[in-house]
């Protein structure tokens, strides 16, 4: 598969950061048994990965701006391009030794996400998509699932963690969705939740109160795999609104009607 220069830049950066994360993930298992636990270690792993991504992307595309989960906003002279970077999406999974986490890099060009890469180094899954070029997992073309009966569908979701707002709202939404679909899945990494919809592993996904770096790359993957995406109000302001609802042309509107 011939990749564009941009996609080569993005995949090279996440592969380099992924090598360090994979090593650190291997060490988390040992730290689980320590009294202090791996908390501080995971934070350090997160920051190491972000440093690699920032250096590699800045070198390849000088002038682009950044929205980074750990370091915040870094303005660049090129105001039409912004990287949205989560060096470790699925932090809690990583902390608990659960191999469902990913590096997420999305490129926003003049307000539109035009390319996305999500890489899970634990299982060497490289999800890539570029506008108009399709979505791929390890060079295999992706399409969203074709299931149209909600009773056949497995739907991804995000459960607010302890201390996060929205528990009662989520319980109301989950009650409505659970009454219509086969089952729910809570992966714990929004970027991979979106990739799993793109890959047809799940039939839809919704979540509120997530960040641009969690979802920018995954939005491109779902769309390029033939899926539909709105925010949870039914609009197209996912990054600004901080919410997402996605699926194929039948499941997405049906799921939105249950959660909006």
Closest approach, Cβ 192 to ligand LIP, in A, equals 8
Closest approach, Cβ 60 to ligand LIP, in A, equals 24
Q: What letter does residue 152 receive in the DSSP assignment?
A: G
Work out which of 158, 204, 227, 247 binds ligand LIP, going by CB under 6 A. 158
Please tell me whether residue 191 adopts helix, strand or coil conformation: helix
State how far the Cα of 20 lies from the Cα of 141, in Å rounded to an integer: 28
Integer distance in angstroms from the first to the last C-alpha of the chain? 39
Residue 50 interacting with ligand LIP (CB under 6 A): no
State how far the Cα of 131 lies from the Cα of 151, in Å rounded to an integer: 32
Residue 190 interacting with ligand LIP (CB under 6 A): yes
Cβ nearer to ligand LIP, comparing 2 with 162: 162
Closest approach, Cβ 100 to ligand LIP, in A, equals 10
Residues 6+ apart with CB under 8 A from 175: none
Stretch that binds ligand LIP, among 73-81, 84-92, 113-121, 144-152 (CB under 6 A): 84-92
Work out which of 86, 108, 203, 224 binds ligand LIP, going by CB under 6 A. 86
State how far the Cα of 158 lies from the Cα of 260, in Å rounded to an integer: 15
Residue 105 interacting with ligand LIP (CB under 6 A): no
Structure tokens at 188: 């714990």
Closest approach, Cβ 96 to ligand LIP, in A, equals 11
Q: Which residue, chain included where needed, has tokens 């989950």?
A: 174
Q: Which residues bind ligand LIP (CB under 6 A)?
A: 86, 89-92, 158, 161, 188-190, 207, 210, 214
């Amino acid at each position: 598969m011939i990749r564009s220069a941009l996609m080569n830049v993005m995949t090279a950066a996440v592969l380099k950061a992924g090598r360090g994360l994979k090593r650190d993930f291997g060490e988390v298992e040992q730290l689980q048994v320590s009294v202090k636990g791996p908390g501080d270690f995971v934070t350090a792993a997160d920051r190491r990965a972000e440093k690699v991504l920032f250096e590699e992307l800045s070198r390849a595309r000088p002038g682009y701006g950044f929205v980074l989960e750990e370091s915040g906003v870094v303005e660049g002279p090129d105001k039409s391009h912004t990287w949205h970077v989560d060096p470790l999406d699925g932090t809690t999974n990583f902390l608990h030794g659960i191999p469902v986490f990913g590096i997420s890099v999305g490129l926003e060009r003049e307000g539109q996400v035009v390319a996305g890469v999500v890489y899970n180094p634990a299982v060497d899954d490289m999800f890539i998509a570029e506008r108009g070029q399709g979505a791929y997992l390890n060079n295999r073309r992706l399409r969203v699932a074709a299931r149209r009966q909600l009773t056949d569908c497995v739907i991804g979701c995000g459960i607010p963690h302890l201390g996060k707002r929205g528990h009662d709202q989520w319980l109301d939404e989950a009650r409505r969705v659970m009454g219509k679909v086969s089952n729910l899945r809570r992966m714990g990494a929004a970027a991979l939740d979106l990739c799993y919809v793109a890959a047809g592993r799940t039939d839809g996904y919704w979540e509120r109160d997530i960040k641009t770096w969690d979802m920018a790359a995954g939005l491109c993957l779902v769309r390029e795999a033939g899926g539909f995406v709105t925010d949870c109000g039914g609009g197209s302001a996912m990054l600004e609104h901080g919410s997402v609802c996605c699926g194929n042309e039948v499941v997405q509107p049906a799921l939105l009607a249950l959660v909006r």
